[in-house]
Amino acid sequence: MSATKMFTPVKIGNMTLANRAVMSPMTRSRALDANTPNKLMAEYYGQRASAGLIITEGASPSPNGLGYARIPGLYNATQVAGWKLTTDAVHAAGGRICVQLMHTGRVTQAANLPAGAEVVGPTDAICPGEMYTDSKGMQPHSQPRAMTQADIDHAVAEYAMAAKLAVEAGFDGIELHAANGYLIEQFLNANVNTRTDGYGGSIAGRNRFALEIARAAVAAIGAERVGIRLSPYGVFNSTGPFAELEPQYLALVNELSAMKLAYLHVLDHSAMGAPPVPEAFKLALRNAFNGPFILAGGFDAATGEAALNDGRADMIGYARAFLANPDLVVRMQKGAALNAPDMSTFYTPGAKGYTDYPNM
């Protein structure tokens, strides 16, 4: 199918994007040396610069947030220099790129953390399940320490500093990862957050951590450079629906809208087996947010175009299609066949299944 609206420009914050196809954030585990981005990562993102907007894989704002093997950080000068290779490559090819800030919180295996880092979360409950480590193979998630007020204040400050470092590294903006069961969603989700202080026990309490981080990021670099990703109804990392989910997320999005954030990015995981986000609720979130709205989850060229034409979104996020097709935008314009992604290389070190997917 040759789509039309997908290939029209759109404005986000202070950026004008060439098209409405967004490369969704995808962990790729290629930051081999001290969680530092490298030339191979720059090549990968540079190849995909024809996306209207690239949102990078999650980069941790803190040593404590590096829960997975070989994920990048953004909290020191070496990592800033490493990320600059990527932003330079994307900008040289005419693209736009935001970095996703992802703190894994309790979704962590301590064997993946650098020396001195620790596993923290809203409570001391261990996340069910296992995680891969380079040193010991698959291991259960580690025991977290429940965050104190001082820990929360420290984490908020880490996000604000990472936002500043992102601008220093040449990024056009940041995305706060408040989805998929990582630290921000651990506070949002009533199945995980059983706190009884001011950061739990109510809609306002569970939303508080996310809003403090968003305000700190806005104060650091300006609202026009800050977006956020949400996954209501997601079940990753033992989250799942809860009684006050819809009023809570609507309250959250109303407050984020009042901050004039650059965009809201909503992920529906139903294509991967999670409960669908009800269409009426997606529309309610769109209406609650006065700004650009990205929808992601299971779209192809035709369904993405339909969502744009129906006014359900301003942009559409594509993940595996961009992973396997560096020239996805051209392929969608021409109705061409897509390369299939090789799942066995999603998280392996090296170029195979990373920078070797062919263009048309």
Residues noted as catalytic: 182
Q: Report the 10 Å Cβ neighbour count for 196.
A: 8
What is the C-alpha separation between 175 and 214, in angstroms, rounded?
A: 10
Could you tell me the CA-to-CA distances from 251 to 202, 226, 288 in Å, in that order?
A: 12, 19, 9
DSSP of 26-66: ------TTTT---HHHHHHHHHTTTSSEEEEEEEBSSGGG-
Query: What distances in angstroms separate CA 98 from CA 12, 15, 59, 112, 314, one per listed residue?
Result: 11, 11, 11, 25, 17
What are phi and psi for residue 221, nearest 5 degrees?
A: -135, 0
Question: What is the SS3 assignment for 229?
Answer: strand
Task: Check the CA dihedral 238-243-249-255 and report its sign.
Answer: negative
